[in-house]
C-alpha cells in the first residue's frame, strides 16, 4: 500500500523534472533562442529590410495585396517539392553574399534578379528560405535593397513555419 501511494508523487516529480530548464527533451534553451534572435536582429539591421511573420504574409495573400514572394532555395531539392503559393524561385547561397557571384546563384546574373523583381521599386517583396537559421532569404533581401527596392521583407520562419501553421503549399510535378 505504501508503494502505491509513493508511485504517483514520484511520477509527478519525474514529469516536472523533465519539464525543467536543463531537460534535453524540452526543446531549445533560452540561451539558444536568444542567440538566434540576436543574430536575426543584427542581420535585419545590417540588411536594412523588415521582418514578416507567416500569419502576416497569409493575411496579405488573403487580402489580395500586390507583392512578389521569392523562394530563395534550390529548385529541384526544395521549391519543386513545396513552396508558398504564388512564390517564384531564385536561388541564393547560404553564406553572406557581399558580391554577386553567378556560381553561387546558379547561372543567374544580377540583371536576371532585377528583371524578376520588376521595375516597381516600391512593390512589396517577400523573401523566404527554409527556416530561421537559413540565410538564403537574408541574401535575397539584401540584394533587393542594394538594387533600390524600398519595401523588402524577410520571412524568417520560411517554408517550415508556413507548413507548421498549416497554410497551403504548392508543388510542381
Where in the sequence is the domain holding 147, given as residue range(s)? 49-173
24 part of a folded domain: no
42 part of a folded domain: no
18 part of a folded domain: no
Interval 21-66: pLDDT, tens? 455 567 789 999 899 899 999 999 999 999 999 999 999 999 999 9
Whether the CB-CB separation of 72 and 94 falls below 8 Å is answered with: no
Interval 130-140: pLDDT, tens? 988 889 999 99
pTM of the model: 0.83
Q: What is the four-CA torsion angle of 6, 8, 13, 19, rounded to 10 degrees?
A: 170
* CA 123 – CA 68 distance, rounded (Å): 8
Interval 60-102: pLDDT, tens? 999 999 999 999 999 989 999 999 999 999 999 999 999 998 7
Q: CATH number of the domain at 82, please.
A: 3.40.250.10
146 part of a folded domain: yes
Amino acid at each position: 500500500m505504501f508503494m502505491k501511494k509513493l508511485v504517483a508523487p514520484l511520477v509527478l516529480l519525474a514529469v516536472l523534472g523533465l519539464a525543467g530548464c536543463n531537460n534535453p527533451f524540452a526543446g531549445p534553451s533560452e540561451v539558444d533562442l536568444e542567440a538566434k534572435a540576436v543574430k536575426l536582429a543584427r542581420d535585419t539591421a545590417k540588411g536594412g529590410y523588415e521582418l514578416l511573420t507567416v500569419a502576416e504574409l497569409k493575411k496579405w495573400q488573403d487580402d489580395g495585396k500586390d507583392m512578389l514572394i521569392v523562394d530563395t532555395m534550390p529548385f529541384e531539392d526544395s521549391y519543386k517539392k513545396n513552396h508558398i503559393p504564388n512564390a517564384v524561385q531564385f536561388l541564393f547561397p547560404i553564406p553572406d553574399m557581399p558580391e554577386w557571384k553567378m556560381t553561387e546563384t546558379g547561372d543567374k546574373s544580377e540583371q536576371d534578379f532585377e528583371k524578376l523583381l520588376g521595375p516597381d521599386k516600391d512593390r512589396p517583396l517577400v523573401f523566404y528560405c527554409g527556416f530561421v537559421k537559413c540565410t538564403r532569404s537574408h541574401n535575397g533581401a539584401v540584394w533587393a535593397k542594394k538594387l533600390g527596392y524600398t519595401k523588402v521583407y524577410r520571412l524568417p520562419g520560411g517554408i517550415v513555419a508556413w507548413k507548421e501553421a498549416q497554410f497551403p503549399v504548392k508543388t510542381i510535378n
